[in-house]
Each structure stands twice: as structure tokens, then as C-alpha cells.
Amino acid sequence: MDKEVKLGDGVASELKKEFNSELSSAGKKLIQTIFKYLCDKVQDVDFDDLLKKSARRMRKKYYPFGLLNLLKKAFCQADIRA
């Protein structure tokens, strides 16, 4: 017996394959574009200055409460115990 091939057989699966392939390519290009943009922006950031500002803010916020000293003592004692 010969199998009859009907009009449209296999079309849906081929379209799904093509759609998935194109969607994958578009997604990859989008991700590359986003990361290129982010890399360009990150190059403009002065991380040393950012870290200094962050450290200053932490000292102003927590030092009056003695938390930094408590943390230093806790870490030093943990090192001694180990």
C-alpha cells in the first residue's frame, strides 16, 4: 500500500523549525546588543571613586554605632579561633 501524501503535510513542523531558528538568531543578536551597550557604559564608570564614596557612606552611617569596630573584633577573633 502506498501512503498518500496530502497537501500541507509537514508544513507546520517545517514552519516551527524555521520560526525557532529565526527566533534564536534574533535573541542572540538582542543579547549581544544589550551586552555591548552595557560594556560601553561600564567603561565610563570610575570604580575606584565609586568604592571610595561607598566606603565613606558606610563609615558615616555605621561608625557612630560602633558596628565597624564590633565587626573587626568578631572577624579578628574568628581568625584567632581558626
- Residue-wise pLDDT for 9-40, tens only, equals 888 899 999 999 999 999 999 999 999 888 88
pLDDT greater at residue 79 or residue 63: 63
3-state secondary structure of 16: helix
pTM, to two decimals: 0.47
The C-alpha atoms of residue 69 and residue 62 are separated, in whole angstroms, by: 10
> Residue 82 carries which DSSP code?
-
pLDDT greater at residue 33 or residue 46: 33
Q: Are 62 and 68 in contact (CB under 8 A)?
A: yes
What residue segments make up the domains of the chain, in order of their start? 1-45, 46-82
Cell matching residue 23: 527566533
pLDDT of residue 6: 79
